[in-house]
Amino acid sequence: MSDTISYPLISIITINYNGLQDTCELIDSLYSCIHSVTYEIIVVDNASENQEASVIKQKYPSVNVIESKDNLGFSGGNNLGIRQAKGDFILLLNNDTLVEKDGFHQLIETFNQNPSVGMVCPKIRFADDEIIIQYAGYTELSSITLRNRAIGLGEKDKGQYNKCYQTSYVHGAAVMIRKEAINKVGLMPEIFFLYYEEIDWSTSFKEHGYEIWYNGNCTIYHKESQSVGQESAMRSYYMMRNRLLYAWRHKHGWQKWASIIYLMVIAAGKNSMLHISEKKPQLALAIFKGIIAFIFMKNKLKQQ
């Protein structure tokens, strides 16, 4: 797969769930563009329909396809791949991402220059408008409301983020992790299933003394639309539940309770009333269900 042995092995892990075309396009882009590093590709099939795992195995014999009988979610699927990964570095890529240039060695250089770095993210741009940035790092979560923003989101890429700097959290669509650090911190928390797991994992890495960096000299293209998924019952449910889970796991003392009260009363109440006024009661109900789910899950909230 590579013309050089200058860099250690990278285990590239992606999850397939009824996304055969996207997964194949990602693999093709990796084979076409990545030549500066040695790597293995691991595809975790999260119980897709229509025998998609078998198709991937047949089309790409050198790819390690792991079949799960159940949909394990984002965290569980990635953890399944990490357990079988042979590389010194793990690169998690959404299956709806693409590469166009050979830049993974830039991410490894960030690790090589600082042994305290545990995670590195590339620049992420929207694939449907290749000059628009989705991610160039994250700001810190606010202490009570748990709000933050993606640096560079919506900006035209003029090279203003072609630099390296420390950031607060990784983006789950594309992140490289030092395998040794995972052995110390632990696998991605599976309690979240969807949304907030990479924020929680980033926080655990920082609590263990690791730094998180952004390297804009490597770019990944994400097929996610700039407006997709902002209003769905599933998103409302998991965002409400998982923000509460995060507060319970990582906030302490009065800040924990202030954050939980704010999320359950002020944020949930405001958003629910807004949804009802817009005649979208299913979204308000999803928020309420998220709160109830959090209350019943507290016995599972031990640090993983």
**How many residues are recorded in the chain?**
304
- Residue 126, C-beta contacts closer than 8 angstroms, at least 6 positions apart: 132, 133, 134, 221, 222, 224, 225, 226
Element (H, E) at 222: strand 211-222
Q: What pTM was computed for the model?
A: 0.92
What is the residue-level pLDDT of the chain in tens, covering all 304 positions? 444 457 999 999 999 999 999 999 999 999 999 999 999 999 999 999 989 999 999 999 999 999 999 999 899 999 999 999 999 999 999 999 999 999 999 999 999 999 999 999 999 999 988 799 999 999 999 999 999 999 999 999 999 999 999 999 999 999 999 999 999 999 999 998 888 999 999 999 999 999 999 999 999 999 985 544 567 899 999 999 999 999 999 999 999 999 999 999 999 999 999 999 999 999 999 999 999 999 998 766 654 4
**79/13 Cα distance (integer angstroms):** 10
pLDDT at residue 78 in the model: 97
Q: Which two tokens stand for residue 70?
A: 């159940």
Distances (CA, A) of 229 to 93, 145, 165, 172, 225: 19, 21, 30, 16, 9
pLDDT at residue 193 in the model: 85
pLDDT at residue 228 in the model: 44
Degrees, nearest 5: CA angle 19-285-275 = 90
